[in-house]
Structure 1
Amino acid sequence: MIPPDRVATLLQPFQRLAGGRRAVGDGLGLGLSIVAAVVQAHHGTLEVVARPQGGLEVTVRCPSAAGTPPD
């Protein structure tokens, strides 16, 4: 399980939790930081919550091209 107090840290570049938590490969800890940068560049919102059963629930909302704010 991911400790809720570590979720914000995982949005920073090169941040990973202890070994054994990744599904496949040798990730560098860039995935969530790239998501956060893209969402910010598009003036959206990013919500990341640690799930009690493990893993993360990630919600991305971006405004439409017409300038309508996200739901």
Structure 2
Amino acid sequence: MADVGERLVQQLMKRKLRYAVHIMRGSSGPLLQLSLEGKIKGKRGQGRPRRNWMDDVKEWSGSTSYGDTKRKAENREEWS
């Protein structure tokens, strides 16, 4: 049963990374890319910053910054 859960997590990681690359390359339009980069203006809440969607993508791709992740995403051979 644990094997099924592990495969499910691996599949979810794979799909999330694929979608992130799709957005970073600009295939879905500028609004999604702006929201992923965090450039939409507004107030932040108090307290510790929540873990966001991009934190997982950076961790799984082995990158330390959004720029590094985006550079890897644009190079299809390096990402695969």
Instruction: Name the structure with the higher helix share.
Output: 2
Same fold (TM > 0.5): no
Instruction: Name the structure with the higher strand share.
Output: 1
- Structure whose alpha-carbon radius of gyration is higher: 2
TM-score of the superposed pair, with normalisation by structure 2: 0.25
